[in-house]
Amino acid sequence: MTTMKALVFHGPNDIRVEKVPKPVAGPDEAIVKVTLTTICGTDIHILSGGYPVRPGLIIGHEFVGVIDSLGAGVTGINVGDRVAVGAITPCGTCFYCQSGAPAQCGGLIGGWKFGNTIDGAQAEYIKIPYAQYNITKIPDELTDEQVLFVGDIMTTGFSASDSAKVKIGDAVAIFAQGPVGLCATVGARLSGATKVITVESIPERMEMSKRMGADIVLDYTKVDVISEIKKHTGGYGVDVAIEAIGTQQTFENCIRSVRPGGVVSSLGVYEKNVTIPLDAFGAGIGDINIMSTLCPGGYERLRRMISVIQSGRADLTPLITHTFSLDDILEGYRIFGNKLDKVLKVAIRP
């Protein structure tokens, strides 16, 4: 039996780098040698026990790599190809996929399989299900670092504006400028928003927010965010408010800062119930739309994300603030999980 190194979840606050069997590709599957991966905020929810997964699982879902082997039935991709893979891996054929909700493949949150219901990417190799649907080649001129985020935080961040149908000239507010929020800022601007207002308090994230295209960055510890947003939008409120962290406060502030008839576009992972402030919600008849989006996937979506990078319209490499080997990944978790050392994203090189 061939083995490989991987990060295995054993229980809350118990993850270990271990030798495990190298996966083998069955029909419609591919094995990818992971060349670069990263830690996602969702992995921190898993590590803390806030999002439960089964002990023994290899975690991680954001990565790029090289095709190591292919199972029967996978065409158009060859061994040795450099590829990007979605963090979610829909089947393409079930009720949910065919009903226009591939991220919910198989049932609620079901499209998210890597490091959730099947082995993930913080390993030397990973097995890709439904490979035909979920893999896109990386153009030679792009580095792994340039495309590392296309399968998760970039597609997720951009989806906030896609889902809300941001129009040219819109005012958009984004609450929280962590990695996903920063990608949402880039996406809002690319979608045509001409006033992008972001809310954050960590100085280096506020600075990065400006670099990623925010017109106005508000520090919620220093100003009344809602009145500032109203002030910057002629008293109306924003057309779209994006929630990018998953707390009651930010969810509520989205509802309070959006104009009547506007859209609250939620990306955060919530660990508790959230409540809707009735006054701001117009007692339920304010024409305010609340929507949530899980990471969109599929090879065509990946190709579109890569084309944004390739065209020079976005550069997300400044988000990589640290790099670790797989052996040192626990240090990566410590720094990323505790937001130490001005961290934004840590790259892991197996």
Binding site for Zn ion (CB under 5 A): 40, 42, 90-91, 94, 97, 105, 152
Q: How far apart are CA 192 and CA 245, in angstroms?
A: 23
| Residue 168 beta carbon to Zn ion: minimum distance, rounded to whole angstroms | 29
Which residues make Cβ contacts (< 8 Å) with residue 14, sequence separation at least 6?
none
CB atoms within 10 A of CB 66: 16
Q: Which helix (H) or strand (E) holds 256?
A: helix 248-257
Structure tokens at 70: 């292919």
| Residue 87 beta carbon to Zn ion: minimum distance, rounded to whole angstroms | 5
Cβ pair 309, 190 in contact under 8 A: no
| Residue 99 beta carbon to Zn ion: minimum distance, rounded to whole angstroms | 9
Q: How far apart are CA 53 and CA 44, in angstroms?
A: 12
Question: Number of helices and strands (H, E) in the chain?
Answer: 11, 16
> What separation, in Å, do the N-terminal and C-terminal C-alpha atoms of the chain show?
20
> Based on CB atoms, which residue is closest to Zn ion, 2 or 99?
99
Q: How far apart are CA 51 and CA 194, in angstroms?
A: 36
> Based on CB atoms, which residue is closest to Zn ion, 59 or 97?
97
| Residue 209 beta carbon to Zn ion: minimum distance, rounded to whole angstroms | 20
| Residue 303 beta carbon to Zn ion: minimum distance, rounded to whole angstroms | 20
> Based on CB atoms, which residue is closest to Zn ion, 50 or 286?
50
| Residue 269 beta carbon to Zn ion: minimum distance, rounded to whole angstroms | 9
Express the helix, strand and coil content of the chain in percent, nearest 5 each. 30, 25, 45
> Based on CB atoms, which residue is closest to Zn ion, 23 or 129?
129
Structure tokens at 250: 């930010």
> Based on CB atoms, which residue is closest to Zn ion, 59 or 258?
59
> Based on CB atoms, which residue is closest to Zn ion, 97 or 320?
97
Structure tokens at 274: 């959230």
Nearest Cα to Cα of residue 157 among 186, 135, 134, 136: 186
| Residue 199 beta carbon to Zn ion: minimum distance, rounded to whole angstroms | 21
> Based on CB atoms, which residue is closest to Zn ion, 45 or 210?
45
